[in-house]
Amino acid sequence: MDTRRIGSLEVSVVGLGCNNFGRRLDFDATSAVVDAALEAGITFFDTADTYGGTKSEEYLGRALGRRRDDVVVATKFGSRIDEQRRGASPEYVRQAVEDSLRRLGTDRIDLYQLHWPDPEVPIGETLGALDELVKAGKVREVGCSNFSAEQLREAEEATREGATRFVSVQNEYSLLHREPEREVLPECERLGVAFVPYFPLANSLLTGKYRRGQAAPSGSRLDSSRGEKMLTEENLAVVERLIEFSASRGHTILELAFSWPLRLPTVASVIAGSTSAEQARGNAAAAGWQLTDEKLNEVDSIVRGRG
């Protein structure tokens, strides 16, 4: 699998999101997904301290075992675990990293990310604490998630000369959610910050299993209240046209969903979760479609035309 850079880190262009570990998957199922991902060439594993009620980090660390040194492990802090464990204060950053290191069973975190901006803590204070962790060898690189272009600029301006800076931002981005194109992606290019899309499959709408005129598969991600927002006639019409577009060129909509964001050099790795070994293998194999400018224009026309 191709690789790209996040700061000093080399990562596979498809990453495994670990939000299902400890929530939808027990340890044995987690281990099967991790094994399949590694066999398929995925080397970038992204989790968070809150995923699976803190079990995701533990399951990931155990599943990797002796293969830890072969991969890049990213985790996040800042989301609320409980009233005491939340936010981005320097004191909590120091506690959170120790907790994550223990759960992951490792001596360093490759990419440590602030999960959400914390309006109560100046970003310079958070970056100062993260810089301490890098200098102590507990963290290799630092990033952020769910940041606006303005917040990225504030973080850059607050970084002391020679100190650790954010090398990545992880935001939602897909064919059906293109808001980052307005400001965040141009800002990433200007600052030299890697962009890491999450939800590239638009909550699985771009997998091809949701079709116009058909009920959502029982037990699927969108077979619930969240489906009412995503499974609109407008979105399903676009999906049908994207399925037709891909099939007529010998590809699948899954391949389109992964390959499309990777058209941008700023995009380092496309993160998607898996609930089975089969899904992990399918996602890993989906990023190889080299889309020409002509095809990209056709896709753009389909999405912006909305059916």
- Render pLDDT for 172-187 as a digit per residue (tens, 0 to 9): 999 999 999 999 999 9
Residue 191: which pLDDT band, with cuts at 50, 70 and 90? very high
Say how far apart CA 206 and CA 257 lie, in whole Å. 6
Q: Burial, 200: exposed, middle or buried (Cβ in 10 Å; 0-12, 13-18, 19+)?
A: buried
Residue 225 has pLDDT above 50, yes or no: no
DSSP category for residue 177: B
**pLDDT tens figures, 202-215:** 989 999 887 766 66
Q: Average pLDDT of the chain?
A: 94
Task: Answer yes or no: are the C-beta atoms of 238 and 206 closer than 8 Å.
Answer: no
Least confident range from 82-86, 135-139, 269-273: namely: 82-86
Say how far apart CA 216 and CA 270 lie, in whole Å. 25
Containing H/E element for 155? helix 149-158
Q: Identify the pLDDT of residue 228.
A: 60
What ranges make up the beta strands (E) of 32-108? 44-46, 72-77
**pLDDT tens figures, 235-278:** 899 999 999 999 999 999 999 999 999 999 999 999 999 999 99
Q: Tokens for 95?
A: 């506690």
Query: Residue type at 248?
Result: S
How large is the average pLDDT for residues 76-105?
Answer: 96
Residue 117 has pLDDT above 60, yes or no: yes
Give which of 230, 147, 231 is closest to 195, Cα–Cα. Answer: 147
Q: How far is CA 257 from CA 113, 253, 299, in A?
A: 25, 6, 11
Helices 123-135 and 90-104 cross at an angle (nearest 10°) of 40
Active site residue 51: yes
User: How many H helices and E strands in the chain?
Assistant: 11, 10
Q: Identify the pLDDT of residue 221.
A: 58
Task: Sketch out the chain's domains with CATH numbers.
Answer: 3-202+255-288 (3.20.20.100)
